[in-house]
Structure 1
Amino acid sequence: MAPPKLRGALNIGFQLATTIGILAANLVNYGTNKIKGRYGWRISIGMAAIPAVIITLGALVLPDTPNSLIARGYTDEARRMLQKIRGTNEVDEELHDLVEASEAVKQIQHPWRNILQPKYRPQLMVSIFIPMFQQLTGINVIMFYAPVLFKTLGFGDNASLMSAVITGVVNMLATIVSIVVVDKFGRRFLFLEGGLQMFISQVAIGVILGKAFGASGVGEMGKGSANVLLFLICVYVAAFAWSWGPLGWLVPSEVFPLEIRSAGQSITVSVNLLWTFIVAQLFLMALCHLKFGLFFFFGIWCSLYGIYIFLFLPETKNVPIEEMNLVWKKHWFWGKYITDHDHQIGYSMRPMV
């Protein structure tokens, strides 16, 4: 439903909603921790029912998209919905494109077989590497285990929860920054700048922890060092929130042509959830064994995915999805996988934007 020029900002609205939810959860945990007795954690878990109810009720009133209406044969209703969301009655050209795209969708067969073809190699790599690298930034180490991590570093119970709230606020505000600048500065710039900022902050965190606790993991950290550490973690969270957080979902949604879109998006989500699971399961064990070296470990990954973005990801800002094949065709590396015939086919099939 998003027009191409606002596609980035509106897509990142998804990530902004996620950061608001994370902040809300941190605030709930901080508040319920002050409840005396054994009921605080029960209230914290039980309140998760509130957003579930909101989602359920919201689904009942959520309008259908023009694409969905056309796919089910309701072309007139799709026209009216387009006029409503575009704010104009001049929607004939876009409606025609959507109808053509819907007809093309009905002709598509074997998207999973298609995505394995050499001409779709760049999109397949995006669907694998972008979500994998997003999780290997180490962000879920901070967001999942922030209270545990801060308590391990010497913060008290309430202080560790408050620190998690602070990082949640930074996460939300930095995502708003991404919404404002993503369609101005482009995806590659934010990827590279955010990666560099995360790399520097991860290395600095590792150095501070190494000096304070050493390889044994035993030591003390002064209040000043603890405050510096919290600041560096906020710098890291901000970098992720305006780069790899939202762009890890935005860029894959932009690069798949119609004939492989369902397979590509499925791979993206599956890889993301797989690495979320892996990082969540292994973090505590890795922290026990690597100690401060864990931050160097994630810092190395920051440098690796920076190289990947610099060499292999073209800019997708303001590029209509139906013209994305031309971007890959012009790329110094991926262009060799796409023939002129492949490019013409991709350009003639005008998918929905």
Structure 2
Amino acid sequence: MLSGGFLFLVGAGFNAFAQKVWMLIVGRMLLGFGIGCANQSAPIYVSEVAPYKYRGALNMMFQLAITIGIFVTNVLNYFFAKMKNGEGWHYSLGFAAVPAVMIVIGAIFLSDSLSSLIERGKDEKAKQELIKIRGTSDVEEEFKDLVEASQSSAAVNHSWATLLKRHYRPQFVMAIAIPFFQQLTGMNVITFYAPVLFRTIGFGSNASLMSSMITGGFNALATFVSIFTVDKVGRRKLFLEGSAQMFICQVHFLLIYIFNY
């Protein structure tokens, strides 16, 4: 997380003060590396330290932070686009340094995850951190589960080859297929290029940015629904409901395109 925050910070600096195209490219590359670090480390960290009954909701807080960030970015873009000197894009890109600083400062004060400490043989420190996080000394049963999970993991030989075995094949396939097909739905295109997309269907510049802001706002609101329901109704039901909703909307847009064409 520290590495991700630092890469975000440097990338935002390159983009904010860009005078040449290569500076924008380097900045985007650094931001991409930062996203890779943060997207992998933060959810895993939350899963390892969160109480069982709140794990789903707390993991959704990570997604909530992303959707709020997208919404705030859309709002800033809308106002910075009104700058008369045409320099607003520098501020839009440079403001990425604000959450980058928050990530770096926050990560400095975080302890290592419990599983990480146990894996490195620091059981006593892991137990003290667990007591600190839970706010109670009654953690023996949970700590025992963590140690046993670590031991079970260490006992697995050739873990990558194990994933390909028939017993784990369904989980392996779905772990790849779900994010793969989620990306193919085009949500990232809408998120990243919404102003351009709205402009191609006849919206003005300000209206396009406003539409992006509305899209980002509903994205954040939908995340709140998931936070309050994920641990009650389960991940599977939310996944099925979301998939059905996306399918209906995709078919709707396809029909509109076909009949208008």
TM-score by length of structure 1 reads 0.57
What is the CA-CA distance between 1:201 and the residue it aligns to? 2.3
Map Cα deviations across residues 186-230 of structure 1 (whole Å, 9 max, x no partner). Answer: 22222222222222222333334444xx33xxxxxxxxxxxxxxx
Q: Which residue pairs with 1:264 in the alignment? A: none
Structure 2 residue 207 is the aligned partner of structure 1 residue 159: yes
Unaligned stretches of 5+ in structure 2?
A: 1-48
1:1-353 equivalent positions in 2, closer than 5 A: 1-211=49-259, 214-215=260-261
Whole-angstrom distance in 2 between the partners of 1:164 and 1:75: 48
In structure 2, what is the Cα distance between the partners aligned to 1:2 and 1:49?
28
Distance 2:233 2:151 in 1: 35
The residue type paired with residue 135 of structure 1 is Q
Secondary structure, counterpart of 2:50 in structure 1: coil
Q: Give percent identity, aligned residues only.
A: 56
Question: What is the SS of the residue equivalent to 1:38?
Answer: coil
Paired with 2:222 and 2:249, the residues of 1 have a C-alpha distance of: 16
What's the offset of the Cα at 1:142? 1.5
Q: Which structure has more RCO (C-alpha within 8 Å, separation ≥ 6)?
A: 1
For the aligned residue pairs, the C-alpha RMSD in angstroms reads 1.8
Match of 1:241 in 2: none
Count of matched residue positions in the alignment of Structure 1 and Structure 2: 213
Name whichever of 137-146 and 64-73 sits farther off.
64-73
Distance (whole Å) between structure 2 residues aligned to residue 57 and residue 184 of structure 1: 33
Shift of 1:109: 3.1
For structure 1, the residue ranges without an aligned partner over 5 or more in a row are 216-353
- One-letter amino acid of the structure 2 residue matched with residue 120 of structure 1: Y
2:156 maps to amino acid: I
The change in CA–CA distance for 1:104 and 1:192 in structure 2 (over 3 A counts) is closer
| Secondary structure, aligned partner of 2:147 | helix
CA–CA distance in structure 1, aligned partners of residues 107 and 50 of structure 2: 19
One-letter amino acid of the counterpart of residue 63, structure 1: S
